[in-house]
Structure 1
Amino acid sequence: MPKITIIAGARPNFMKIAPIIKAIEKAKIAGENIDFRLVHTGQHYDKKMSGSFFDQLGIPEPHSNLEAGGGSQAEQTANIMVRFEKELLENPADVVLVVGDVTSTMACSITAKKLNTDVVHVEAGIRSGDLSMPEEINRMVTDSITDHFFTTSEIANENLRKAGIDEDRVHFVGNTMIDTLLANLEKFIDPDIRINGGKLKGKEYFVLTLHRPANVDEQEKLKDMMQAIIDGTGNFPVIFPVHPRTAKILQNLGIEHERLHYVEPLSYLEFNFIVRNAKAVITDSGGITEETTVMGVPCLTLRDNTERPETIIMGTNELVGTNPKRLKPYLDKLMAGEWKQGGHIPLWDGKTSERIINTLLNLY
């Protein structure tokens, strides 16, 4: 009977583990001898991570919250490791399952291996090649000590082959983020954002998200990028879900325009409603590029690299870069109605979590 400890530390992690928990529950109903323990490391405090968030995605309350958030990268890593070691000693598992690439992913993997517990990594093998990103360090360290690798794409498989990983430890299963997306398509919630007294009209606005240091830390560069976005989006409103503190910084920098609308952070179901109905999304997030690809929404990524190249090769995403001057030709192409259509990415079909659990049942 595999006893699985599932780790989640930040909001995107919970979107990735929600369908895995559902697949375990389904297997138990079918008579399989499997059980799980959900551990929230508390890496990120997010007011949107309230009971309603768990209810929306059908996630049970975590069995344990390590409350290890705050501090520098090193302090956070250390806090998670110390607290997770105690948790795992008190509640031994056959397998520790980690997802994604946050600090919790790496810290809990190291702790588990030092306690001689197997680690499985969901979303293994993805690489940006950018060692200035903490996430890239987390991915590389986690994959260096993982026992079994669950991958989202053939590109990730190839990255692991190049690293010398045996084929029988690599399991190409698809993308659990897409399981969550497809399970909730009909549950999206209209946040009823009002622009000049009227509702947003489908395909007649842009969605913007920015959070990476390369885009937001240099004030002049940020101003130039925001101006390029305003200049290139015609007469369409630009909806920017942003933390109120960040919105204030942007306004203090004089980054305001009648078509630029700062709104508070949205829940998962609300955010994906506005994404699904947008003309396009401009972002520096990795996960959003996956969701836009599946929903067929044009996506412009303001980064110089990506760990999700399949969204460019097969999807609706284009890698614009962080130089504001590079944005115009992409927006010109979009406004001219010449954006690529994108296509189907193998195994991004909503059944990834079932494949993961079936594989774990065979392995353990």
Structure 2
Amino acid sequence: MKTLHLICAARPNFMKIAPLYRALKNEAWCIPEIVHAGQHYEYKMSQAFFDDFRLPPAHHYLGGGSKTHAEQTAQTMIAYEKLCLEKRKPDLVVVVGDVNATLACSISAKKIHLPVAHLEAGLRSFDRTMPEEINRLVTDSISDYFWTPSKDADDNLKREGVPLDRIRMVGNIMIDTYCMMKEKIESSEKYKIFGLKKKEYIVLTLHRPVNVDVKEKLEGIIHKVGQIDLPIIFPVHPRTYKSLKAIHPLPQNLALCPPLGYIDFMSLVSNSAYVISDSGGIQEETTYLSIPCFTLRDTTERPVTVTVGSNQLISANNVLEKIKHPKTGAIPPLWDGKTSERIISSIKEILE
């Protein structure tokens, strides 16, 4: 039996490992184990997702906590190395996305000569002020196998010198998650809790430091969206809440709520008129659902959501003009809910 470590740490990771874990646990040749680094640990940011996806408790918990980037990365490296040395070493380490644990566990694994596969490899924003971009670059520079969601990611890796036989475009694992939970999402009808109707409201999410850490920047965004003539549901990230408390008064069209689990949040998104966000994952989900998405960023590591999908990059200054021209776009190749199957096929080839 082969042991596989699936590394996760924050809510975007939980969504990505869920369909893969659920597919792998039905395979007779392997033992998939969830390694939770602990970057997100509050119930609404962590356990709520395990509950939604019917995942077991993490097999291993590293306790990364909420610290600086360096402290979090260092503590995770130490804890993961200790886990691998004191217990049975995994036959393959699967890191996902671009959080600090992705970087930390890939470094620790390679230092003790373990093979690493990066799920969602090759994404690039070309903006090194983003900590996620550093994590992506370093992880891809030392990984052994590269599972990509789109052709642009393949092209990035080829340009960086990755051998072609190590790259496999498997599609978008986030779409597997949506398809896996589609029935529950459609039955949730979370928008009714807010007294709203389908396609007559907006979903807003903000969490990136550049948008929320400086009160004046966040206040400017809030002021602009407050001029939109539709109600806005705003699930507030803990990081954002710290700055939002200092802004008075808030626009009347803004309905605040705590962070939501996957099912309820995707119910809101799938029934919305459009989404305004600075998230990475939401760009993908809205593209699959053909829902207009306006991303409050200068760059995106998922350009296929702009060139093919329903996403547009905007600034706080032009949001009111941009939302007048929404687009629905198309679904990129292999965003079909079968990414886990292609990954399992790749893992079998790797381990054989």
What TM bracket, shorter-length normalisation?
A: over 0.9
Offset, 1:246: 4.2
Report the equivalent of 1:60.
56
CA change 1:329–1:271 in 2 (3 A) is same
Distance in 1 between residues matched to 2:332 and 2:150, nearest whole Å: 8
Distance in 2 between residues matched to 1:248 and 1:358, nearest whole Å: 44
Which residue of 219, 224, 229 maps to 2:225? Answer: 229
Offset, 1:244: 6.9
CA change 1:230–1:166 in 2 (3 A) is same
Report the equivalent of 1:288.
282
* 1:325 aligned onto 2:312: no
Offset, 1:152: 0.3
Which residue of 92, 95, 98 maps to 2:92? Answer: 95
Distance in 2 between residues matched to 1:81 and 1:247, nearest whole Å: 29
* 1:139 aligned onto 2:136: yes
* 1:149 aligned onto 2:136: no
Distance in 1 between residues matched to 2:292 and 2:317, nearest whole Å: 19
Kindly indicate whether the alpha-carbon contact (under 8 Å) linking 1:11 and 1:44 is maintained by their aligned counterparts in 2: yes
Equivalent AA in structure 2 for residue 278 of structure 1: S
Kindly indicate whether the alpha-carbon contact (under 8 Å) linking 2:52 and 2:261 is maintained by their aligned counterparts in 1: no
Distance in 2 between residues matched to 1:243 and 1:302, nearest whole Å: 16
| Cα-to-partner distance string for 1:56-107 (whole Å, 9 max, x where unaligned) | 2122221111112132111111111111111111221111110000000000
CA change 1:50–1:10 in 2 (3 A) is closer
Which residue of 159, 170, 175 maps to 1:173? Answer: 170
Distance in 1 between residues matched to 2:32 and 2:138, nearest whole Å: 24
CA RMSD of aligned residues (A): 1.7
Report the equivalent of 2:327.
340
* 1:211 aligned onto 2:207: yes
Superposition TM-score, scaled by structure 1 size: 0.91
Report the equivalent of 2:34.
38
Kindly indicate whether the alpha-carbon contact (under 8 Å) linking 1:2 and 1:361 is maintained by their aligned counterparts in 2: no
After TM superposition, the structure 1 = structure 2 runs for residues 72-151 of structure 1, keeping only pairs within 5 Å, are: 72-89=68-85, 90-151=87-148
What secondary structure does 2:63 align onto? Answer: coil
* 1:355 aligned onto 2:347: no
Distance in 2 between residues matched to 1:181 and 1:99, nearest whole Å: 17
Distance in 1 between residues matched to 2:217 and 2:17, nearest whole Å: 36
Distance in 2 between residues matched to 1:192 and 1:17, nearest whole Å: 27
Distance in 2 between residues matched to 1:3 and 1:210, nearest whole Å: 37
Equivalent AA in structure 2 for residue 47 of structure 1: Y
CA change 1:81–1:342 in 2 (3 A) is same
Equivalent AA in structure 2 for residue 313 of structure 1: T
Offset, 1:26: 3.0
What secondary structure does 1:7 align onto? Answer: strand
Distance in 1 between residues matched to 2:104 and 2:144, nearest whole Å: 15
Offset, 1:149: 0.2
Equivalent AA in structure 2 for residue 146 of structure 1: S
Offset, 1:194: 4.4
Kindly indicate whether the alpha-carbon contact (under 8 Å) linking 2:203 and 2:233 is maintained by their aligned counterparts in 1: yes
**Count of residue pairs the alignment pairs up:** 348
What secondary structure does 1:360 align onto? Answer: helix
Kindly indicate whether the alpha-carbon contact (under 8 Å) linking 1:194 and 1:200 is maintained by their aligned counterparts in 2: yes
CA change 1:261–1:66 in 2 (3 A) is same
Offset, 1:45: 1.5
Kindly indicate whether the alpha-carbon contact (under 8 Å) linking 2:191 and 2:267 is maintained by their aligned counterparts in 1: no
What secondary structure does 1:128 align onto? Answer: coil
Equivalent AA in structure 2 for residue 312 of structure 1: V
Report the equivalent of 1:279.
273
Report the equivalent of 1:336.
none
Gaps of 5+ in 1: 334-338
CA change 1:126–1:91 in 2 (3 A) is same
Equivalent AA in structure 2 for residue 301 of structure 1: T
CA change 1:259–1:290 in 2 (3 A) is same
Offset, 1:52: 4.7
Distance in 2 between residues matched to 1:225 and 1:49, nearest whole Å: 24
Report the equivalent of 1:201.
197
| Cα-to-partner distance string for 1:217-244 (whole Å, 9 max, x where unaligned) | 232232222222122x22x101111147
Distance in 1 between residues matched to 2:51 and 2:217, nearest whole Å: 40
Equivalent AA in structure 1 for residue 304 of structure 2: E
Report the equivalent of 1:12.
12
Offset, 1:40: 0.8
Kindly indicate whether the alpha-carbon contact (under 8 Å) linking 1:226 and 1:255 is maintained by their aligned counterparts in 2: no
Kindly indicate whether the alpha-carbon contact (under 8 Å) linking 2:207 and 2:240 is maintained by their aligned counterparts in 1: no
Equivalent AA in structure 2 for residue 258 of structure 1: Q
Equivalent AA in structure 1 for residue 104 of structure 2: A
